[in-house]
Structure 1
Amino acid sequence: MTKVNERVTTRINQLVSSLTPIHPERCIFKVPHQLRHGKEEFYEPKVISIGPYHRGNPCLASMEEHKIRYLQSLLRRTGNRSVDRLVQAVVPHVEKVRKCYAELKSTDYISSEELVQTLVLDGCFIIELMFRCQYVNNDDPVLNSMVLIALGKDMILIENQIPFFILENLFNTINHGHGHDHSLGNELKRQILVFFYPRLKNYSLTLQDVEQLIIPEVCHLLDIIHKAICFRFHENSRTTTSSQIEREFVNSATKLKEASVWLNASSSTENRSMFDITFTKGKLNIPTLGLDDGSEIEIRNFIALELYQQSHMQRFWCDYVIFMDHLIASSNDVDLLTHRGIFNNRMIDTNSVDNMFKNLTRNIITSHPYTYSEISKELNDYCDRPWNKWRATLKHNYFNTPWTIISLIAALALLSLTSIQTVFSIIS
């Protein structure tokens, strides 16, 4: 028995000693099974591999030549004959880069030389792409095709990232900056936000917002986009009180309408974040959300970032999709929200929106406290007022179709005519 104890003890000690720490820098990871199962297409790139996770995928091989062409073009444009300075900008940070990837703890996954090559090629491709989109109008097959749309989708996948400090170092080196030149770093962020503006305008951001926005600390491209969407709400959000801790959820949009809640799209001139939902004097104000075939990919990756990012991050997207999912019980609710301007729906049909929100809320959890606890309580209290409750019941049970309303009008008209006839009979 003693020998068994010794062997087991030795084995467990080896397991403990070989365990690598969870580094605080970790910010890029493969989406866990419970989120990705059956939904792999929302997390895996279709056109380009950025970073080590999808490197070598034969389905993405066609873009590798474009990466080299972009690097060649960048070197010519900046008067460099060799990539030596770019490699030197990356090599000292290899170990720090490994700590950013949850599944890249050793050289077994990828050697240091291969990792540096990947970072230089992918980083320079992103930098040159930003430049070409703003300053060059030529016959670039990447820019002048549907590939650019697919590229935009691939570049914000959580599994398809490189650390932003690598991009920043490369950008500074290309532009002859030194170390962490914050002015150059801010210019790179601005170029990235302008590139993604066609997507950002779906989330209540204007071009002026994008041009003026300064985001201090970011991990990668997805983090930049996430923070750009959340920044205004994060700055203006109300301080949490104890009354918000108890979670409450709202009724569907059609039921709220029956209870005399007016659903209203917040004006773009009100300078609100898309998360800034308010309820005042019977009016529920919700900023407009643009929806198209790229929305689910983006929102799923925002949610994955919020759920698995190691640093404390408020789960604005998780809370938002849960709130909206409770508003949407059927396609009728989607129609109502679209009619009121809350959804700018460019998807195939209303069922697609309904199904999207149902799918988005699976296996996610809200913030604690839930961002919309207070407004949900206010809405529920309003709907529970006797008059509003009675009106909702009346509308739902007796005036839920045009035919019942027509029948009531006909009945009232008949009653009025009968009454008039009775009066005339008495008089005569």
Structure 2
Amino acid sequence: MIFKVPSHLRNKNLTAYEPKVVSIGPYHHGKPQFEFMEKQKRRALDNFAKRSGVTIQAYTDEMRKVVGKLKSSYADLDLVRWNDDDEFIKLMILDGCFFIEFLSGRARAFNRHYPDNDPVFGPRGHAINDIAVRQDLLMVENQLPYLAVQTLWLTVPEGRQKPDVGAISQWVASDIMEKDAGFHMLDTHMEELLQIDKRSIHDKEPGKLCASELYQFNVYFRKAESYNKLHFNITTGVLTLPIITINERTVSTYLNMVARASTRESSTAAIFIIYTRLMGTLVQSTKDVRLLQSHGIIINQLSNREAVLEVIQDIAKGTISSDVIVRSNDLSYISIIEGLDKFCKLRTIRLRKTLYVWFTNLTETHFKTPWSGLSLIAAITLLALTVIQTVYAILSLSRQH
């Protein structure tokens, strides 16, 4: 399902969930700032239809067969505005063709279908617009069901020119035909980012710790390149965490991923919710930001650490209340935090035991009688005075020179 962002999330950051360059789907369709890209969508449709040899009417007829499923994919669809199926079908075809044409634009073989000076689909135009468009395509309200893409894809006859599927494979899963009707690009992005194993079990959520407190117990932090490397070694005390890059662009992406995860029941959504909550727990102050930044886990591309702290806390607060944690590939977040708790408790017990043994030896060896205790105190006092006298002599000598 494709939802609108809940108001309690939107009010925290009004611009994070608004597309900037192109609207996809019905929620932001028709806004004046997207007029330029609407014209590009029509060009994309013409080019796609010309290469495929399929008439627009044929695409319309095929899309009409699934229009009910497509409409039901949008949980907050304005049924009054989109009462006309023909208008909704036209939107799905336009946006679907733009989706395929633009995301295929990285392939050199594909770019030859457009002039080099094309403002959007040519090599230079695509390079200029690539980041901004892909950013908009990761907005939770700016999604197109893969069912629409699938319908366009299957309507093209075998042997006709199709854009290279490999060029869009990073966004369109190889099993696109098997996805549910409401599955979309942000879902794919989250699954690939988190690399979730669908076989999962659930555990109860553990307690909370922060990074700087863990560091005081000799927990060391190591960066990981992917989420499936998340791990805590209770023997060595090394907590391996995936890298998180915080800049103006990724802030919006993370917030939209949280909004999507909050409205979806899946292992991907659950593990992302727990991950963001874990980061919110670990990062409670700028001291925690500085610590994780020094270990290369947080990449800060904002103006200051206070801004990073605010972003991580906002992302964590956006997660829905949940009492479950997903285990994937024999890894669970509860096992990590319980491991941290156990490690810290063991460190505390060891320290107390060491102090107890030291104090016991001290009393048994040096405090068996009052005179032995006084002798020890006198020896310590004499040693302290000797050290002070030596330091004073060195300072006096340095002043003379």
**Length-normalised TM-score, structure 2:** 0.75
Task: Give how far 1:249 is off.
Answer: 1.3
Structure of larger gyration radius: 2
Stretch of structure 1 that moved more, 149-158 or 33-42: 33-42
The one-letter amino acid of 2:148's match is I
Pair 1:382-2:343 in alignment: yes
* Counterpart-to-counterpart distance in 1, 2:47 and 2:385: 83
2:271 pairs, out of 297, 302, 316, with 316
Task: Give how far 1:127 is off.
Answer: 0.7
2:230 pairs, out of 272, 276, 295, with 276
**Which residue of 1 is the match for residue 74 of structure 2?**
101
SS of match in other structure, 2:15: helix
1:289-304 matched pairs, under 5 angstroms: 289-304=244-259
Task: Give how far 1:292 is off.
Answer: 2.6
TM-superposition CA deviations, 1:129-177 (whole Å, max 9, x none): 1222223273332234643221111111121112111101102223538
2:197 pairs, out of 225, 228, 234, with 234
Kept in 2: contact 1:153–1:294 (CA 8 A): yes
SS of match in other structure, 1:29: coil
Q: Would the alpha carbon gap of residues 163 and 383 (structure 1) be closer, same or farther in structure 2, given more than 3 Å must change?
A: same
**Which residue of 1 is the match for residue 223 of structure 2?**
265
Q: Would the alpha carbon gap of residues 89 and 133 (structure 1) be closer, same or farther in structure 2, given more than 3 Å must change?
A: farther
Task: Give how far 1:257 is off.
Answer: 1.4
Task: Give how far 1:68 is off.
Answer: 1.0
Q: Would the alpha carbon gap of residues 308 and 87 (structure 1) be closer, same or farther in structure 2, given more than 3 Å must change?
A: same
2:22 pairs, out of 20, 38, 48, with 48
2:10 pairs, out of 36, 42, 47, with 36
* Counterpart-to-counterpart distance in 1, 2:127 and 2:8: 35
TM-superposition CA deviations, 1:286-340 (whole Å, max 9, x none): 1222333221211122222221126676411211111111111222222221221
Stretch of structure 1 that moved more, 273-282 or 30-39: 273-282
Kept in 2: contact 1:247–1:370 (CA 8 A): no
SS of match in other structure, 1:265: strand
* Counterpart-to-counterpart distance in 2, 1:177 and 1:309: 38
* Counterpart-to-counterpart distance in 2, 1:52 and 1:170: 18
* Counterpart-to-counterpart distance in 2, 1:133 and 1:293: 24
2:117 pairs, out of 125, 135, 139, with 139
2:289 pairs, out of 326, 331, 334, with 334
Task: Give how far 1:193 is off.
Answer: 4.3
Kept in 1: contact 2:146–2:179 (CA 8 A): no
Kept in 2: contact 1:335–1:350 (CA 8 A): yes
Task: Give how far 1:283 is off.
Answer: 1.0
* Counterpart-to-counterpart distance in 2, 1:370 and 1:414: 59
Kept in 1: contact 2:67–2:89 (CA 8 A): yes
* Counterpart-to-counterpart distance in 1, 2:267 and 2:388: 70
Structure 1 residues not aligned, in runs of 5+: 1-26, 179-183, 197-209, 391-411, 422-428
Kept in 2: contact 1:245–1:373 (CA 8 A): yes
- The CA RMSD over aligned residues, in Å, is 3.3
**Which residue of 1 is the match for residue 365 of structure 2?**
none
**Which residue of 2 is the match for residue 167 of structure 1?**
149
* Counterpart-to-counterpart distance in 2, 1:128 and 1:414: 82
Q: Would the alpha carbon gap of residues 177 and 66 (structure 1) be closer, same or farther in structure 2, given more than 3 Å must change?
A: same
* Counterpart-to-counterpart distance in 1, 2:391 and 2:78: 90
* Counterpart-to-counterpart distance in 2, 1:414 and 1:214: 78
Identity of aligned residues (%): 27
The one-letter amino acid of 1:362's match is K
* Counterpart-to-counterpart distance in 2, 1:315 and 1:167: 27
1:1-400 matched pairs, under 5 angstroms: 27-80=1-54, 82-104=55-77, 106-135=79-108, 136=111, 138-142=116-120, 143-144=125-126, 146-174=128-156, 176=158, 188=165, 190-194=166-170, 217=179, 219-231=183-195, 233-234=196-197, 239-240=201-202, 244-250=203-209, 252-266=210-224, 268=225, 272-274=226-228, 276-281=230-235, 282-309=237-264, 314-371=269-326, 372-384=333-345, 385-386=347-348
Kept in 1: contact 2:106–2:167 (CA 8 A): no
Aligned length: 342
Kept in 1: contact 2:279–2:316 (CA 8 A): no
**Which residue of 1 is the match for residue 368 of structure 2?**
none
Structure 2 residues not aligned, in runs of 5+: 327-332, 353-382, 393-401
Kept in 2: contact 1:277–1:287 (CA 8 A): no
* Counterpart-to-counterpart distance in 2, 1:65 and 1:420: 81
Kept in 1: contact 2:136–2:142 (CA 8 A): yes
* Counterpart-to-counterpart distance in 2, 1:168 and 1:64: 21
* Counterpart-to-counterpart distance in 1, 2:388 and 2:208: 48
TM-superposition CA deviations, 1:48-106 (whole Å, max 9, x none): 111111111112112111111122222333345x3122212211111111111112373
SS of match in other structure, 2:105: helix
Task: Give how far 1:366 is off.
Answer: 4.8
The one-letter amino acid of 2:271's match is F
